[in-house]
Amino acid sequence: MGNFLELLKTLKNPKYVLLTLIFVIIGNVITFFINLEKAISLHKIKVTSFYKIMDIIASNWLYLLYIIILAIVFINILRYSHKKSRPREEEFYNEDVHYKVEIVNFVGGNIKISRSSTGYELQIYIQNISNEDILNVDGFLSITANKVRIKKIPFEVSILKPGYSESIYQSVNEFELFEFDMCDMYINEIKTENITKKEIYNIGPIRINTFYKILNMKRFIDYKLFGIRTRYNLVWLKNKSRVAFGYIRWLYKRKVYVLGKGIRKHNLFHEVCSFIKRSIIFMCIYTIVLIIFCVTLFAVIKTLLMFWELLPFLWEFTKDINSIISKI
């Protein structure tokens, strides 16, 4: 029984489910064609539409194979780009912002902003930065943006050991708090075993928001291809494409070398040879690109025409199958 349960857990894996489904479909298709062949031979029925379909596919197999290989390669490139782009996406989401305001080596107010794929999380906690236990501390912490207090968080913490912290506020996607530029803390009273202090106030450092990652999001996350959203992050692919195109342009562009304070000059013969060389490289590169584009476009058109030509025969084939089934 235990082995059976383990087998069921294994089969829940999407990879095993997909593999099982593929085998079932292939088995059913093979069984169907075997039974179909037996039925045709038994009842001596001529399925002319089936042979016409096979003839059309056989006459266009090269274009169909080219499109299939091209699609498989293209999808694998997109998947590889998504895999290579994951660290950049995680770098964008998993950024932590830390801010701290301290009160005379006793207690510190810490603000931590964490960004993840689920949103923004803000956590504020009080930390004992002294060398002795804090028996009790009460006060409030204020968050300010553009000289306006946007949040006032009262707190009262008891029995806090040195180096330990206690969370006093948490929120998710409270966006008005994320743009704060300053924080201050007021302590009504703080008690330790040896000291008691009252009415202490301190202002933390000014925080500058650069918004670099928000303004440059496409350097970390880009799921669009020609304006169409895909399942894959294409940052790595687009970066590599820009580098490759830049290198190709460098191959055929005129190069100017600067030595010291002046530009290095060449004689006319060298300039003519350089121009011819760059022109040959330019023509070779873009001829190859044009050939690949034309072949792909021609294969796509031929494949679409093949499917258009198959439609009436497929309809006729279904009629033939129905007639065979009715005679079995």
Q: Does residue 192 share a domain with residue 265?
A: no
Task: Please give the backbone phi and psi of residue 132, each rounded to the nearest 5 degrees, phi first.
Answer: -140, 165
* Amino acid in position 2: G
Looking at every residue in the chain, the average pLDDT score rounds to 76
Per-residue pLDDT at 173 exceeds 80? no
Q: What's the pLDDT tens digit per position in 106-140? A: 777 777 777 665 667 778 888 888 888 888 888 88
> Which residue segment(s) compose the domain that 323 sits in?
48-92+222-328
Q: Given this model, what pLDDT does residue 195 score?
A: 82
Cβ(98)–Cβ(112) below 8 Å: yes
The confidence score (pLDDT) of residue 128 equals 84
Q: Which of 214, 246, 271 is the last residue of a domain?
A: 214
Residue 91 CB contacts under 8 Å (≥ 6 apart), including other chains: 220
Residue 192, domain member (yes or no): yes
Kindly list the distances between the CA atom of residue 290 and the CA atoms of 258, 283, 285, 293, in Å, as whole numbers in the listed order. 35, 10, 9, 5
One domain for residues 239 and 280: yes
One domain for residues 197 and 123? yes
* Residue that finishes a domain, picked among 158, 187, 214: 214
Q: Are residues 130 and 230 in the same domain?
A: no
The answer on 226 and 209 residing in a single domain is: no
The number of distinct structural domains making up the chain is 2
- Answer whether residue 28 is part of any domain: no
Of 128-132, 145-149, 177-181, 242-246, the range with the lowest mean pLDDT is: 177-181
Instruction: State the pTM of this model.
Output: 0.55
Q: What is the rounded CA–CA span in Å between residue 117 and residue 249?
A: 38
AA letter at 208: I
Are 162 and 240 within one domain? no
pLDDT of residue 244: 82
SS3 label, residue 212: helix
pLDDT in tens, 15-65: 566 667 777 777 766 676 666 666 555 554 455 666 777 777 778 888 888
User: What pLDDT score does 89 carry?
Assistant: 76
Query: What CATH number did the domain enclosing 107 receive?
Result: 2.60.40
- Statement to judge: residues 185 and 294 lie in one domain: no
CA gap 115, 93 in Å, rounded: 5
Q: Does the structure show a pLDDT above 60 at 319?
A: yes
Q: E-strand spans in the chain?
A: 96-103, 107-116, 119-128, 134-145, 148-160, 165-172, 182-192, 196-203, 224-225, 228-229, 258-259, 262-263
- Please check whether residue 101 is in contact with residue 95, taking contact to mean a CB–CB distance below 8 angstroms: no
Distance (Å, whole) CA 126 – CA 111: 9
Residue 129 lies in a domain: yes
Which tens digit of pLDDT belongs to each residue from 254-295? 665 555 555 555 666 667 777 787 788 888 888 888 998 898
4 has a pLDDT exceeding 70: no
Q: Taking residues 207-218, what's their average pLDDT?
A: 67
The answer to whether position 287 is within a domain reads yes
Contact 189, 136 (CB under 8 A): yes
Contacts of 317 (CB under 8 A, 6+ apart): 47, 49, 50, 53
In a domain, 140, yes or no: yes
**pLDDT higher than 80, residue 150:** yes
Alpha carbon distance 92, 95 (integer Å): 6
Pick from 190, 214, 238: which residue ends a domain?
A: 214
1-15, 191-205, 251-265: lowest mean pLDDT where? 1-15
Q: What is the structure's pLDDT at 239?
A: 85
In tens, the pLDDT along 69-86 reads 888 888 888 888 888 888
How much is the pLDDT for 235?
84
> Are 85 and 100 found together in one domain?
no
